[in-house]
């Protein structure tokens, strides 16, 4: 039987506890997270055992590693995201998706205390060299910067190594400046006209509304019949639909109704004639066939656009069909142009969001009132529209200079 150890007052000492009669100190010795033998001291046995409880609690919570600055970036990000209870679920899911996609399996395994400014810069440049755009790298920065900032505030590291990295990256990166390329007027017409006589004809109404309103894809898939006024030719944008993996780590995507990011996102958009015709055509088709969207979410129903399963679309499926349409169009156009002995008008691959950029560029080319542009696009800050979304086409620049020539400005 093991000998029972006691202090000078006859109290039984627990495992790891010792009493030093020469100085009257109690000592608790334990192995830290890395196997190193460590001791804590106290002149009072009760106070020593409070320290023991804290040590055990910290070991269970992983705080011992965190406090030693030996946590990796992954554990600190997980700690950071657990504190963000005020985030909308869609935003939180997007942060987790971005982190898991680009950080967790590589850079995220580095010890946070060892990471320097140059390490972050090299990592961001590697992402760019892999083909990611600056805007995507900015999304990564959006989750990494506050992760390191949490470690700074908890006094685990002294400085945030991500500070100033994006400015340096943009200064030294000549491509992918963040301006998304809009389709030209000719490319837009070719895309929509191709749908009319193809197997993708049922997609034409959806894409006409997308190109003709500049709405975000979540606003389009969430558009209901009650949100449009065909008589007054107005569209009421008051919500959107998000489709993200939720935060339960199941990797299952779910739909969720979301409010616009800002008050400016709630807006009324007048209908262009082609948008009106597309919506009227969709209404008549559904009346004639008896088909309708059978999807309901948070009490909302009557969605205008639906897939073959009579549920609403998700952005990924729309992006996939755009890719198929563009590839099919280009293959057909090359053969057609060869027969007609002309240069083909080819389409670049684009995403749902490019329809928004394209609409905004056409709007900026034809409207000088920036408040009108801001209201239609639903931006809180007009500079967002002018700096990122608006892009003046070469054709429009030529038209402007032709007008200058006719006026004889020189």
Q: How is the beta sheet containing 228-229 ordered, strand by strand?
A: 228-229, 234-237, 267-270
Which positions of the chain have pLDDT values less than 70?
1-2, 32-36, 55, 57-69, 174-180, 245-252, 261, 384-401, 403-405, 407-410
Q: Are 19 and 2 in contact (CB under 8 A)?
A: no
Both tokens of 375, joined, read 């209201």
The alpha-carbon radius of gyration of the chain (Å, integer) is 30
Residue-level pLDDT at 397: 61
| DSSP state string for 189-220 | HHHHHHHHTSTTGGGHHHHHHHHHH---HHHH
Residue-level pLDDT at 4: 74
Neighbours of 145 (CB within 10 A): 17
DSSP H/E element including 16 = none
DSSP H/E element including 153 = helix 134-153
Query: In sequence order, what are the residues at sequence separation of 6 or more whose Cβ sits closer than 8 angstroms to the Cβ of residue 94?
Result: 244
Both tokens of 199, joined, read 């197997």
Residue-level pLDDT at 63: 47
Gap between the Cα atoms of 301 and 318, Å rounded: 20
Both tokens of 193, joined, read 């006209």
Residue corresponding to tokens 């809009």: 182
């Amino acid at each position: 039987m093991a000998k029972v150890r006691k202090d000078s007052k006859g109290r039984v000492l627990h495992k790891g506890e010792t009493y030093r009669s020469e100085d009257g100190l109690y000592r608790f010795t334990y192995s830290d997270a890395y196997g190193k033998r460590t001791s804590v001291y106290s002149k009072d046995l009760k106070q020593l055992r409070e320290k023991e409880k804290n040590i055990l609690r910290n070991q269970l919570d992983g705080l011992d590693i965190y406090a030693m600055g030996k946590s990796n970036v992954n554990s600190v990000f997980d700690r950071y995201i657990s504190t963000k209870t005020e985030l909308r679920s869609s935003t939180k899911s997007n942060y987790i998706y971005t982190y898991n996609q680009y950080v967790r399996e590589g850079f995220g395994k580095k010890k946070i205390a060892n990471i320097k400014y140059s390490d972050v810069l090299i990592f961001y440049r590697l992402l760019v060299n892999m083909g990611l755009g600056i805007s995507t790298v900015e999304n990564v920065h959006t989750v990494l910067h506050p992760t390191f900032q949490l470690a700074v505030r908890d006094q685990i590291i002294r400085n945030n190594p991500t500070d100033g990295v994006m400015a340096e990256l943009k200064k030294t990166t000549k491509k992918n400046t963040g301006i998304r390329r809009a389709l030209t007027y000719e490319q837009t017409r070719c895309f929509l006209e191709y749908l009319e006589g193809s197997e993708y004809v049922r997609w034409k109404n959806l894409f006409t509304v997308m190109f003709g309103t500049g709405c975000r894809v979540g606003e389009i898939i969430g558009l209901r019949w009650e949100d449009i006024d065909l008589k007054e030719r107005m569209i009421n944008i008051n919500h959107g639909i998000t489709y993200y993996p939720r935060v339960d780590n199941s990797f299952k995507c779910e739909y969720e109704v979301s409010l616009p990011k800002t008050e400016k996102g709630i807006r009324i958009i007048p209908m262009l004639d082609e948008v009106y015709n597309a919506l009227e055509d969709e209404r008549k088709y559904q009346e004639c066939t008896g088909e309708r969207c059978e999807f309901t979410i948070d009490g909302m129903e009557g969605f205008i656009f639906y897939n073959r399963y009579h549920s609403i679309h998700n952005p990924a499926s729309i992006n996939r069909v755009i890719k198929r349409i563009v590839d099919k169009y280009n293959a057909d156009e090359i053969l057609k142009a060869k027969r007609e002995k002309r240069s083909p008008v080819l389409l670049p691959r684009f995403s749902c969001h490019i329809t928004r950029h394209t609409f905004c560029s056409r709007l900026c080319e034809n409207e000088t009132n920036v408040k009108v542009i801001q209201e239609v696009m639903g931006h809180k800050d007009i500079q967002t529209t002018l700096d990122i979304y608006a892009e003046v086409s070469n054709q429009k620049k030529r038209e402007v200079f032709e007008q200058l020539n006719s006026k004889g400005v020189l």
